[in-house]
Amino acid sequence: MQTIVRRVGLLGLVVLPLVACGTTEQAPVTGRSQTMLVSEKEVIDESGKAYTEVVGKYRKEGKLDADPADLQRVRAVVSRIVPQAVAIRPETGRWAWEVHVAHLKTINAWCMAGGKMMVYSGLIDTLKLSDDELAGVLGHEISHAIAKHQQERISHEQRRELITLPFSIAAKLFLPIDPTSTLSELAFGLPFTREQEAEADRIGLTLMARAGYNPNAMVSLFEKFKTLEKGGGTPEFLSTHPSDENRIENIKRIIQSDPEIRQRAARL
């Protein structure tokens, strides 16, 4: 037994230096410190491959860009927001930005590292989005990309696995049930997700405001999501973008506390 405990402890000593490796960067706008264990290029390359597969699948099913009006509308909004993202992170001007609309009832939208985007028609139709609200969604999603959230999440998951590995091994040896996964999600996963969401809200408000859209639309957007939840349906957007009761108040607080966003909101 002592030998097993000693080996688990030694494994922890090996793991900790690996966790300490990586590069430290700063998120745009907020300046939050980020620790990366993988490069952005790696994430962009893999995202591009995944995006090609998704686009090919929807095209084969006849669900890609099936409504020209929806596609034109989405691309018009993107064409105003992307230049603001590039102004914040000039190197993203080299990205091959791309957006398509999937004709599905799914209420969701996303933007991968490298600027590869997908908007689902269910989001537009079910919530009856105004152009300002659509800009709120796209600004938020683009913010995830320029803030390197996908790269950071992958790095975070790798670090979490390394940190919890010795404890998981010990738990499997001495406990009937391994609680490590649940505990690590509560300690590392949920707070991290909320932090990224709050940051994307903050950057997204800046992007949409600078693009000439009304930041207050972000409030009405999440009020629509909240109404949908109360009606018994949980949009896929909220399953991948966890919300809480304070989110709308936080968005209102950002609008009022940021002079640039507040002034633009007052003029629109």
Catalytic residues: 141
Q: Confirm if 142 and 128 have CB atoms less than 8 A apart.
A: no
Cα–Cα distance, 255 to 248 (Å, whole number): 11
Axis crossing angle, helix 131-146 with helix 68-88, rounded to the nearest 10: 50
Residue 24: φ, ψ to 5°: -105, 125
Pairing of strands 98-102, 116-120: parallel
Tokens of 11: 């494994």
**Contacts for 15 with CB less than 8 Å, ≥ 6 apart:** 162, 163, 165, 166
User: Residue 231 and residue 62: Cα distance in Å, rounded?
Assistant: 31
